[in-house]
Amino acid sequence: MSVKNLIEGKTGLWEVVIGLEVHAQIISRSKLFCGCATDFGAEPNTQVGFLGAAMPGMLPVLNRVCVDQAIKTGLGLQGKVNLVSVFDRKNYFYADLPSGYQISQFTHPIVTGGYLDIDLEGTETKRIHLTRIHMEQDAGKSIHDLHPQKTYIDLNRSGIALMEIVSEPEMRSSAEAMAYMKKLRTVLRYLGTCDGNMEQGSLRADANVSLHRPGTPFGTRTEIKNVNSVRFVGQAIEYEIYRQLAILEDGGEVVQETRLFDPTKGETRSMRSKEDAHDYRYFPDPDLLPLRLTEARIEAVRATMPELPDAKKARLMADFGLSAYDADVIVGEQEIAAYYEEAVAASKAKDPGQAAKMIANWLMGEVFAALNRDSKTIESMTLPAAHLAELVDLILDETISGKIAKDVFVKMWESGKAPAALVDELGLRQISDTGAIEKAIDELMARDAAKVGEYRSGKEQLFGYFVGQIMKAMQGKANPGVVNDLLKKKLG
């Protein structure tokens, strides 16, 4: 048995508590405190200067673009953008952190509060509150697998701007944590403040997980570091829930520690005991003044905000009658939503509502299938939105049937030609001319007189057979509605 979001153990019910700390790399051409480039995949150590390599006496200079990006993210996540925030040094030793400290924000982050509405099964949503968003520098990268005895250090990433987005411990299952990651990624991509590329590490999550008896204080948590895919977030949390459950059910205690997820084994393992904030000896960075923002600057950023996915979803549902599910899929990527709206705008159908729904079906059906098959994305595909709209219009004005339209789709996908031109070129125009259809029916009735007799004496299921025969005789081009009507009249 499982009560919603509770786990039934041998000794009773447990509640799962999850809070996520997400590191999102800010989209910016240069780093947080210097002019070095941020391109992914560059030759090691070609994008690091004196500051990133921690040469003595180098001074950090704050990058305005990164600050505006953090403001935009705060506004997009409904947080409070603080007019004063402070950069602190977070001290620790790591081979890929040559300065011995990371510049971060601790007591005064740039954003406090905010929330994200996550989409759960069906039409259910849940609001997850945010604690804070702060800016910080990324560290370099230690490469252990290039040499059997040596570790190499690549400092290209050193000093790249990150936002750490910290949630309240309000998620109650791995499914909620995955939905949170997905939604956060979508919002950041809409905002254009993080590319959300989890494989390249532009977005990575630390998952904090604990178990407790419902109605009692929270249990001791463990933190799983740097999980870099939505699926792994789910797997890591599931593993961790059941690892902790086994300990607690045996009367043991969970040790507060930092763990690592191993995707090949599907397990988490201990990495180090958890450090507390005081271990880092945070103090305000003496090289940087507090960051002071004006209301005018925040408003200027607000003026550049795009329509966000929740608003877009509501609008698509209201304006085009899309179902919540369809609207969710379409707003999932900004490019898909833009393509969809472009197609709807291009349609000349008499009933725009009907066209909008059909365009959604074709987009999510044929177009997605073709993209999948050809390993393409909506950005790299060549099918103009206007062609998809034209195809749907041809169905709606009965120039072609839905069945013929599938053939036309394949041809237009391959050739890049417009569907109306293809229909003419291939002679696929639907035949609604009653004379031609009546002639075909008469021929069929003469040929199949026995079946006509059976039909008339009550074997009504033969009707489909007659329709099929007529469609076949007319190479699928007969208007099915007209065929139905005429057949009924003639057979009746």
Binding site for ligand ADP (CB under 6 A): 17-21, 166-169, 208-210, 218, 221, 223
Residue 218 interaction partner, one of Mg ion, ligand ADP, none, beta carbon < 5-8 Å per kind: ligand ADP
Tokens of 388: 């998809």
Find out whether 147 and 160 touch, Cβ atoms under 8 Å: no
CB of residue 17 to ligand ADP, shortest distance in Å: 4
Q: What is the chain's alpha carbon radius of gyration, rounded to the nearest angstrom?
A: 30
CA gap 356, 342 in Å, rounded: 11
CB of residue 3 to ligand ADP, shortest distance in Å: 19
CB of residue 78 to Mg ion, shortest distance in Å: 23
Find out whether 159 and 146 touch, Cβ atoms under 8 Å: no
Q: How many CB atoms lie within 10 A of CB 335?
A: 12
CB of residue 24 to ligand ADP, shortest distance in Å: 14
Pick the closer one to ligand ADP by CB: 221 or 312: 221
- 377: three-class secondary structure by DSSP: coil
CB of residue 178 to Mg ion, shortest distance in Å: 19
Pick the closer one to Mg ion by CB: 20 or 389: 20
- 117: three-class secondary structure by DSSP: strand
Find out whether 333 and 381 touch, Cβ atoms under 8 Å: no
- 96: three-class secondary structure by DSSP: coil
Count of residues that interact with Mg ion, criterion CB under 5 A: 1
Closest CB to Mg ion: residue number: 21
- 15: three-class secondary structure by DSSP: strand
Pick the closer one to ligand ADP by CB: 210 or 235: 210
Residue 168 interaction partner, one of ligand ADP, Mg ion, none, beta carbon < 5-8 Å per kind: ligand ADP
Pick the closer one to Mg ion by CB: 117 or 257: 257
Pick the closer one to ligand ADP by CB: 165 or 346: 165
Closest CB to ligand ADP: residue number: 19
Pick the closer one to ligand ADP by CB: 169 or 192: 169
CB of residue 283 to ligand ADP, shortest distance in Å: 17
Cβ-proximal residues to 458 (8 Å cutoff; 6+ apart), any chain? none
Pick the closer one to ligand ADP by CB: 132 or 313: 132
Pick the closer one to ligand ADP by CB: 21 or 117: 21
Pick the closer one to ligand ADP by CB: 181 or 371: 181
CA gap 163, 135 in Å, rounded: 5
CB of residue 124 to ligand ADP, shortest distance in Å: 22
Report 2-31 residues binding Mg ion (CB under 5 A).
21
Pick the closer one to ligand ADP by CB: 102 or 347: 102
Residue 169 interaction partner, one of ligand ADP, Mg ion, none, beta carbon < 5-8 Å per kind: ligand ADP
Residue 104 interaction partner, one of ligand ADP, Mg ion, none, beta carbon < 5-8 Å per kind: none
CB of residue 274 to ligand ADP, shortest distance in Å: 7
Phi-psi category of residue 196: left, alpha or beta, with phi > 0 → left and psi -120 to 50 → alpha? left
CB of residue 69 to ligand ADP, shortest distance in Å: 21
Find out whether 222 and 209 touch, Cβ atoms under 8 Å: yes
Residue whose C-alpha is closest to residue 176's, from 127, 130, 225, 134: 127
CA gap 254, 230 in Å, rounded: 25
* Residue given tokens 């002679």 in the structure block: 427
CB of residue 128 to ligand ADP, shortest distance in Å: 10
Cβ-proximal residues to 437 (8 Å cutoff; 6+ apart), any chain? 431, 470, 474, 478, 479, 482, 483, 486
Angle at 255 (CA atoms; ends 252, 256), nearest 5 degrees: 150
CA 71 to chain CA centroid, Å, is 22
Q: How many CB atoms lie within 10 A of CB 26?
A: 27
Buried b (16+ CB within 10 A) or exposed e, 92-103: eeeebbbbebbb
CB of residue 235 to Mg ion, shortest distance in Å: 20
Cβ-proximal residues to 366 (8 Å cutoff; 6+ apart), any chain? 406, 409
Residue 167 interaction partner, one of ligand ADP, Mg ion, none, beta carbon < 5-8 Å per kind: ligand ADP
Phi-psi category of residue 266: left, alpha or beta, with phi > 0 → left and psi -120 to 50 → alpha? left
Q: How many CB atoms lie within 10 A of CB 121?
A: 7
Residue 260 interaction partner, one of ligand ADP, Mg ion, none, beta carbon < 5-8 Å per kind: none
Pick the closer one to Mg ion by CB: 21 or 117: 21
Residues forming a β-bridge with 132: 112, 166
Instruction: Name the site residues for Mg ion (rule: CB under 5 A).
Output: 21
